[in-house]
Structure formats: C-alpha cells, structure tokens
Chain A
Amino acid sequence: MKRSFTLIAALMVSILLVVSACGSNNVEQPNNSGSEGTEKPAETTTPVEEAKEVTLSLRHTQIKETSKTRLKILEDVVAKTEQENEGLTFKLEGIDEIVNRDQKLKAEMAAGNPPDIFEVFGGADLKLYVKAERMLDLTLILDELGIKDKFASLSEFTIDGKVYGLPFGGYSEAIFYNKKIFSELGLEIPTTWEQLLDISGKMKAAGYTPFGLAAKDAWVNGMLWNSIMERHTGMDAMNKVVTGEAKWTDENFIKGFTAYSELALKDYFTKGALGLAYADQGAQLLSGKAAMVFTGSWDANRFTSDEAGDLKGQIGYFAFPSIAGGAGDQTSINASYSNGFGFSANLSEDQIAAVKKFIANFFNEDIQKRTLIEDKLLPSMKLSDLSGVDPLISEVLTVMANASSSWPAFDSITQPAVTAEIGVGIQELIGKVSTPEKVAAKIQAAQEAANSAQ
C-alpha cells in the first residue's frame, strides 16, 4: 500500500508539474507584477533603493537576413537599457512580420495578453486595439521626455489627440529602377503615365520585364495599385468609400482599376507573378531581369547591399508619374510613418518606468541616424545632420522632399475585410480573369457589408 501511495503521489506531482508548466506561459507576467506589488510596502520602509526585478517582453519582426542591421541596433539599445537599469531584463522574441501583424498580435489582442512591447502598425490596426483599450497611452511619457515635437509625424499613432505608439521609421513608395537598363535603352525617367507606358513597351521589346512583380501576397500588388488609384481619385477618396460618400464603382475608381489592368493586359508584369513570394520581386530587379520595381523605400537596404552585385550604385528611385486628367494630387507620394512600437496597457508601474527608459534610449537622434546610415531606414525623427548617407537613400529623401503632399496606404483606411477583397480583385486583374468593372462591383459589395457593420 505504501508503495502504491508513493507511486500515485509521484504521478500527481508530475501532473502538477505539467499543468503548471502549461499555465505559466500565460500567467507569468501578471504574476511577476503581482509579486512586485506585494513587495512594495516593504520597500517604502527601507530607504535603500534596491534594484527591482523588472521583465519586459519585446516582440520584433526583424528576423530576415535583410533586417540583420535593424535587429542589431535594437539589440544594442536593449543591452544599453539593461546595463543602465539594474534588474531590468528584456525578453526579445522575433517572428515573421505578416504572422505578427495578421495572426499572432491580433489573437493576443483578442485574448488581452499582448507582449509588453511590440511592433505595431499605425492606422486601422491601431484603431482597433485602442478601441479595445489594449494600448498604453504614451502622451504623458512623451511630454516628460520632451520628444513629441522631434517626430516627423505621429499622425498614424494619434487617436483623439492621444499618442499610442511611436514610429521607428518611415517609408515612401515609388519606383526603383535599373539605371543600366535605362541608359542602355536610352530611356528618360517618365513624368507622365503615357511616358511610363512608352518606356515599358520599349523595355518589353528589348526583352526586359518592365515591372518586376511578385503577386502571391496581396499587399505587394496593393502598392502600385494604390498610387495609380490616388492619381485618379485623390487621396481623400479612400476615406469617402469608408464613410459611404463615394463608391468603388464611381467613374474615377473605374479609371484607376482600368489603368492598372492595362499594365497587366500589356504583359508589363513578371510572367507567373501570382505564384511568387515577395522576396522574389527585389531579386528580379537585382538580377537585371526587371527594369523597374514599384515598392517601398524599406527595400533600399537590400538594393544597396552586396546582393546587388554589379548593380550596386546603379539602382535609382523616382516618383510615380502624373496622370493627366486625374482627380488626385499628381505629384503626391505614398509616404507614412506607420511602422512602430506599441506598448501594452497591462504594464505595471515599474514596467512603465522601464518603458520610459527604453523609449529615451531608442527614440533619439543618435539611434535614428544610425538606423538611416546602417539600415537605410528613413528616420521618423527630424535629423539635424545628414552626412554619410547612401546615394540611393539621398535619392529617396529627395523624391520625398519634392512631393507636393503625402498620404497613407489604403489598407490603413479601409476595413480588413475590404482590404482582403481588394487583394483578390487586384490578383484577378493581374491574372486577366476579370474586368475592372466586375472587380469594382465586388469590392463595393464588400465595402457596403463592412460599412453597415460599423
């Protein structure tokens, strides 16, 4: 009997271990802050300040080969902050950016247990999380650190006058091009839609792909489409479809869809693009097969890396050309500071104090300059010194400075369900299986469903 009891007891212990190990993942953080909370009264009686054990989990998405430098900068800031604050530990976790944005972070937000610090996109994503009260209000922290006015723009992270996130960089979207091909074929940088079509035709005739494209992931196609759409409809039109004042089937939208479809019908995109993943797009430009690629300035880092080989220094950047008769601002650019860090509303006092130190160490001119030079990421803060910047980055900055206005990407405005439908619609145009009118009608149907749900 005794032995059987021991056996059962041992089993029970092992079960407990399993169960507690399973549970600890979720409850670890509240437990930590809870125990710190109970320690507090004891501390007030002892005047000697002891280093408190504070842990902050930090979720980033810099896991690709191409974002090594950005990760290094983040790790340096984390190491520095840990060094300066005894007892503070950061737990870094890197996951894929799409998984984070579309699945993991959303699921965690739903469950109410996001990481303490995480990468988050401003705009529609943030709005949802703020509505659910998951985001830490940073307004006071920014005032205290006195850095609020140093940012180029906090508009994507500001809701009702309060700031809920900090962009660590900005981007603009336009056309990267292969200077060698342009000079070989004697082409000029196009400033009008007609010129763009003209040079694309010449590139195709010479055996190059005019627009390198990898269309498997919908957001990639959304970029060029978005710029064409803006030229035709104006930047405010996206807001209007969400409020119901405008329809996707309106004349100007149809013109936009038609113009995009024209590029597909003329085979100016990479053949078989619908089966290719995003990374392939940049590879097409760098391998010299594609003459142009419409993408965001975040790719500049890759285009100036060793992967560029012969083309190092031969990649340029120009703004999307104007479209005569379009209703939009013809020299505007899609540029925004929407990629940033957000902080969980669940943080304890001590954690918030630690977050403050992290913000001070990460969002300053030194780190921003380092990011610009090493990572080619456009700074989200105003820099006084721009020496030592890569020529391609200078081109990017020039294009942005020359733009008459800027606007955020459509998917930060349209509802997620509409964004998904737009993604399918654009793929249908690329695959030449639908017409602009049909695509517009389907998107409008999704838009109306989404609008009525609000």
Chain B
Amino acid sequence: MNKALKNPFTYIAFIVPTLALYAVFFVYPVIVSFYYGFFKWDGITDKVFTGLDNFARLWNDEVFRKALANNFYFMAFSLVVNIPLVFLLSIIISKVGRMRDFYKSAVFVPVVISTATVAILFGVLYNYDSGMINQFIRLVAPDDWAREWLSDPKLAMLSILIANAWQNIGFFIVLCLAAILNIPKEIVEAAKIDGVNGWQETWTITLPLVRPILFVMLLLTVSGTMKVLDIVQIMTNGGPFQSTEVMSTYMLKVGFRSMELGYGSAIGVAMFILILVLTGMLQLMTRREEVQY
C-alpha cells in the first residue's frame, strides 16, 4: 500500500480524470473562442476569416459598452452596499448570544434557493399591478408612488441588484461570521480591560483581523459580478430595451439569437481577459495579507 503512494503513477491516475474534464470543458472552449473570434460565422455555414474586425466592432459597440457599464454597476453596488452590510450583520450576529445558530441559518437560507427561483420570486414581488412591493406602497403612500420596478430602465438594474443582494449576502455573512468568531477571546477581553468601547473594538480589532476574509469576499464579488448571467437573464432578459444587458447576456444574444457566433466569441474573449486582469490584480494585492493574532 505504501508503495502505491510512492508510485508517481498513482498520483497521475488520480489527477488525470479531473484534468481531462477541465481540459475538455474549460481549456478547449477558451482556446477555440479565441480562434472563432477572428471569424464571421453563423455557426452552421462556412466560417469567413475577418481578422480583427470583431474586436474592432466590439470596441465601438454601444450595447457592449452599456453591458460593461452594467457589470461595473453590479460590481460597485456589491462592493459598496453588500459588503458593508455583510460586515454589519456579521458583527450584530456575533454579538447575540442567544439563538445565534438560528440567525446564522436564517441568513443562509436564500443561498440555498436556486437563482432561477429567486429571480422568478422577485419578478412576482416586483409586478406592477399585483406585486407585493407595489401593494405595500399603495397601502402606505399615494398610489402613484408605485413603480414599474422591472420595466422602468432607470429602476430595472437596481431591482435586480436588490434581488441579487438578498440571495448572496447570506453566504458572505457566514464566511465573515466564522472569521469574527475565530478571533481569540483574549484579545477582545484585554482590550475591554483597557476600556475600549464597541465602536473602537469593531474598528481597531475586528475589522483588521477579518481583513483576509474581506479580501476573499472582494475577489468572489469581482469575479462573480463580471460573469453574472442567470439572475439577469431570468428577471429581465437584458430588457427593457437592453438597459439591463450585462456582458454575458449580450454574448448569449449575439451568439445564439442573432447567430453571430464569431462576434459572440469575441465578446466571450473580452470577458475572459477582463476578469483575468481584474482578479489577477486583486490576487497580487491579497498576497501580502497574513493575519497574526
């Protein structure tokens, strides 16, 4: 048995299946996307080589720019609203002694629900006529305060972001909470003896000590929001009139609705590079982080 573990082939045998799947479903598609990006192709008839035309078109494509801006909006919202909210809720939950497990599970429930379900659920809540949100607004405020949540181009993106936040913060809270609860009690107790108040404790002890987790959240948020697809696709399908289009929904539309697979691949390539650069930068930043209690 020990010999088996010393035999390099054993290790190869274990790795090969995963590597093969990874190659077939990840490496190969990425490489061919780069290749297809140089062609004009409807996916069925012969490809026509067009050089960098697709990428030039991408550069000038207003819809793509709008989609990119929406991705950044998505990211900014998640960073500015979600993460502070996560931190706040985690602190609050870490402070409650009774029923902490209940709160922990409660915030985690939305994570377990599939995104498709969440999207449809919020679609119902946002309905202009019969949605609960507008019903409530009409109850407590003048009727014309009711909003067309998903069909007003000014509000549609925000409506999606709220639904997305509701679903995602649970996971982050659990991460953050684990980090907070991991902080050795002695540190907090020593600080208490020195007379720090709650605010100082949060700001000078908790926050610096959970920084690595905050970076993990940052990384997950950036890569997650740049590639977001499902919730947008289901809630608005990029509409109304492409005002909530994100890169991946636009890629899907161009590739498989308009049957311009070459251009669709070019969009995919652009996404790939963008996400790679952004996460690469973040990774460089996080490398220096190490917590010493």
- A residues near B, CB below 8 A? 1, 3-4, 7-8, 11-12, 15, 18-19, 22, 102-103, 106-107, 109-110, 128-129, 131-132, 134, 215-218, 270-277, 289, 416-417, 419-420, 424-425, 427-428, 430-431, 433-434, 453
Contacts and interface: CB of A to CB of B under 8 A. Distances in A.
Contact of A4 (B4, B45, B252): B4
A103 B256 contact: yes
Contacts of B151: 215-216, 272-276, 431
Contacts of A132: 44-45
A11 to B, nearest CB: 4
Contacts of B9: 8
B201 interface: no
Interface stretch (B85-93, B178-186, B223-231, B257-265): B257-265
B243 to A, nearest CB: 8
Contact of A1 (B3, B21, B156): B3
A4 B16 contact: no
Nearest to B1: A3
A419 B254 CA distance: 12
Interface in B104-131: 123, 126-129
A431 B148 CA distance: 11
A355 to B, nearest CB: 22
Given A216-B237, A276-B127, A424-B242, A8 B43 contact: no
Contacts of B145: none
A64 B176 CA distance: 42
Contacts of B128: 271-272, 275
A342 to B, nearest CB: 14
Contacts of B40: 453
B160 to A, nearest CB: 11
9 contacts: A8-B4, A109-B44, A110-B261, A270-B129, A276-B127, A277-B123, A289-B129, A417-B260, A420-B253
Contacts of A425: 241
Given A102-B256, A107-B43, A277-B123, A427 B239 contact: yes
A277 B239 CA distance: 11
Given A4-B4, A8-B13, A275-B126, A128 B239 contact: no
Given A15-B16, A215-B240, A107 B256 contact: yes
Given A3-B1, A110-B43, A453-B40, A11 B14 contact: yes
B198 interface: no
A1 B7 CA distance: 10
B127 A275 contact: yes
A128 B10 CA distance: 50
Given A1-B3, A15-B13, A427-B241, A272 B148 contact: yes
A427 B237 CA distance: 12
B240 A274 contact: yes
A271 B258 contact: no
A349 B240 CA distance: 49
Residue picked from B4, B252, B253, B257, most chain A C-beta under 10 Å? B257
Contacts of A107: 43, 256
Nearest to B242: A424
Contacts of B45: 128, 131-132
Nearest to B41: A110
Contacts of A427: 239-241
A203 to B, nearest CB: 16
A275 B123 CA distance: 8
Contacts of B13: 8, 11-12, 15
Contact of A106 (B17, B43, B253): B43
A284 to B, nearest CB: 9
Given A3-B3, A102-B256, 8 more contacts: A4-B1, A4-B4, A15-B16, A419-B258, A431-B152, A431-B240, A433-B241, A453-B40
A214 to B, nearest CB: 10
Contacts of B7: 4, 8
A433 B152 CA distance: 10
Contacts of A1: 3
Closest 6 CB pairs of A and B: A272-B128, A275-B150, A274-B151, A4-B4, A110-B43, A274-B240
Given A4-B7, A132-B44, A216-B236, A424 B256 contact: no
